[in-house]
Chains A and B, each alone.
Chain A
Amino acid sequence: MYIIGENIHIISPRVKDALQAKDARFFQGRAVAQVEAGAQALDLNLGPRKKDWEEIFPWMVETIEAVADVPLSFDSTNIMGIEAGLKKVTKAQPIINSTSAEPERLEKVPLLAKKYNTRLIALTMGASGIPVAADARVTIAIEKLIPRMLEIDFPISDLIIDPLVLTVSGCQEYCPELIETIRTLQVAWNPPPAISVGLSNVSNSVPQENRSLVNRTYCAMLMGVGLNTMIGDPLDTKLKDTIRIIEQRDDSTPVGRLYLKIYDRIAAMETPVIDDVDINDPDQAAIWKTVQILLNKVIYADAYLQLA
């Protein structure tokens, strides 16, 4: 699993404060911690920085590149800010996160990616928002996103499609559809484009104590349809252990066997069934309940784990 570390994100109050104070050591600390934990790229979500983009984006690149060699992912809607940052990059091929299929962004952002030889994350989202159905999202990719890349001769090998994870707490119907979106995208074009998702979005507004469980269970399901790149939390050791279990097919523990079973079921276009689970094992029961909400079989509630 190629993890783009998500922990430099403006939504975090500490990141916000550090940005205000231009606290280079804070950002260097976060960057190093993520890379040491296995992040192979770093997402930088600094917000639009409407007033100080000219200063902040290059400053952040210099700050991070002083301690890390991995690709930087510019996660912003401010195209001028992204360009200011790209000009400063001296190390790995950067990533722009993101364009969508909205006409204005699809016009401009790929040209910027081409000019600076970056990889480009493209969201399956059009002017009318994010469709629920898997085939509608695939259609955006093959009728809007990929044709635009071909039109400007942008290498498809540098394109990363993001079919958009939405939260199980409120957008539950999207969760199973995303699984099928990822499955279909891989046969929708030859050669297939790379695919990445923002995994942690699936647990937005889920109580903190359950977020990792929701994230790693969904991760196992998405790996079943071939997900091998994501923006996620490299410091979440339980998430990383789940990834390891699946990648190494480590069936030495009951929970590991359950994750592998879920992975195999999803890969085979089957639905995990209760017989796959030892429901008397609380860890397995929790994973099973999480699968049920992620497949939209049972309505999500914050206390869903409490239910029999």
Chain B
Amino acid sequence: MPVEIPKDTWSGSVCTVTLGATTAAGGTRSHTVTVGGHKTLPFMHFEQPMAHRPVIALEIRDRRPDDWSPLLLEVWGNAVDDPASWANAGEKAGADLLVLSLSLTGADGHPTTPEAAVAAVKAVLKASGLPLLVFAPGQADLDNQLLVPVAEATKGERLVLGICEDKNYRTIVATAMANGHLISTRTPMDVNLAKQLNILVRDMGIPADRILMDPTTGALGYGIEYGYSVMERLRLAALQGDGNTQSPMIVTPGAEAWKAKEAKVGQDVPAAWGDWRERAITWETLTAVALIESGADIVVLRHPESLRRVRVASDDLMAVPETI
């Protein structure tokens, strides 16, 4: 008996957002990366082709991180002491995008200065042609002090500036608009708050094609199912035509997974947990792949082997004939 596969059609779609600007467009990137544009749920190729595949960003820092797992420091080697080398290594590892996270303090313990932040961003832009996201440390005053000069020094690059939160978004949005950049918003795992912040930033006049949203997630075993549901609901609302939920979604499974005990701790754990490195990479990979399936457009990772495995998984998911 022939089986007819039911197909959904939706009235809304996800915004298309292009990160980075090439020389022709007023930037210096070797190419751009475009995300979003979806007209149906992820990987429902038989309903609509995926407008743009999910992409993988690699997180690097402006200096050697104080709190990263030795597994990560080991795999990146000396590159962690120099953002330009790290950017290069990240590009070689196959990243689509780079996320440069600015540290709260310099190695000397003093707050990161605007000059140091601008220098790190410029060094990364010079070392790699990948589109770049720059995330400030997450303290309102310092974030604004760092991001404004970074935005001005890189005018026209279509960087993504983050992170806009409900208590601190005005300055970041304003400088992004003034200097031709994009923004990333973040709200704590709640559909109502995600939508609210989208309304607030758009109320300032930033166009929808310059907004990414991070609905926040937890790692595998640490609330991922809740984050997954929030993302799924936001995506369904977007497809139903709710204009304030239609931004492409970015999530940080790398940061989340490497906080989990299973990834972080190599000693004094049950022998049945097996090899530490393999476990940690599996944790990061599975967290990321689950989120891609819930609609993430950009996943931010930390380990090159996780990056490779997530790429394999997303290639499989994108292989149209295999999925039906």
Contacts and interface: CB of A to CB of B under 8 A. Distances in A.
Interface of A: 169-170, 172, 297-303, 306-308
A299 B199 contact: no
A307 B243 contact: yes
Contacts of A299: 191-192, 195, 233-234, 237, 242, 244-245
A299 B239 CA distance: 12
A303 B199 contact: yes
B195 A306 contact: no
The 6 closest A-B pairs by CB, nearest first: A301-B196, A301-B195, A303-B199, A299-B237, A299-B195, A300-B192
Contacts of A297: 240
B200 A303 contact: yes
A172 B193 CA distance: 13
A255 to B, nearest CB: 25
A297 B12 CA distance: 13
B203 interface: yes
Kindly state the interface size class of chain B when it binds its partner: 10 to 19
Contacts of B190: 170
12 contacts: A170-B192, A298-B237, A298-B242, A299-B242, A300-B192, A302-B192, A303-B196, A303-B199, A303-B200, A303-B203, A307-B243, A308-B243
A22 B275 CA distance: 67
A308 B203 CA distance: 12
Contact of B199 (A169, A170, A307): A307
A307 B241 CA distance: 13
A288 to B, nearest CB: 15
B199 A301 contact: yes
A298 to B, nearest CB: 6
A78 B99 CA distance: 56
Interface in B181-225: 190-193, 195-196, 198-200, 203
Contacts of B244: 299, 301, 307
A156 B191 CA distance: 41
Contacts of B198: 301
Contacts of B234: 299
A297 B244 CA distance: 13
Contacts of B203: 303, 306
A301 B244 CA distance: 10
User: In this complex, which of A297, A300, A303, A308 has the most chain B Cβ atoms within 10 angstroms of its Cβ?
Assistant: A303
A302 B195 CA distance: 9
A141 to B, nearest CB: 29
Interface in B230-263: 233-234, 237, 240, 242-245
Contacts of A172: 192
Contacts of B233: 299
Nearest to A302: B196
Contacts of A170: 190, 192
B318 to A, nearest CB: 29
B200 A169 contact: no
Nearest to B233: A299
Given A297-B240, A298-B237, 19 more contacts: A170-B190, A170-B192, A172-B192, A298-B242, A299-B191, A299-B192, A299-B195, A299-B233, A299-B234, A299-B244, A300-B192, A300-B195, A301-B193, A301-B196, A301-B198, A301-B244, A303-B200, A307-B243, A307-B244
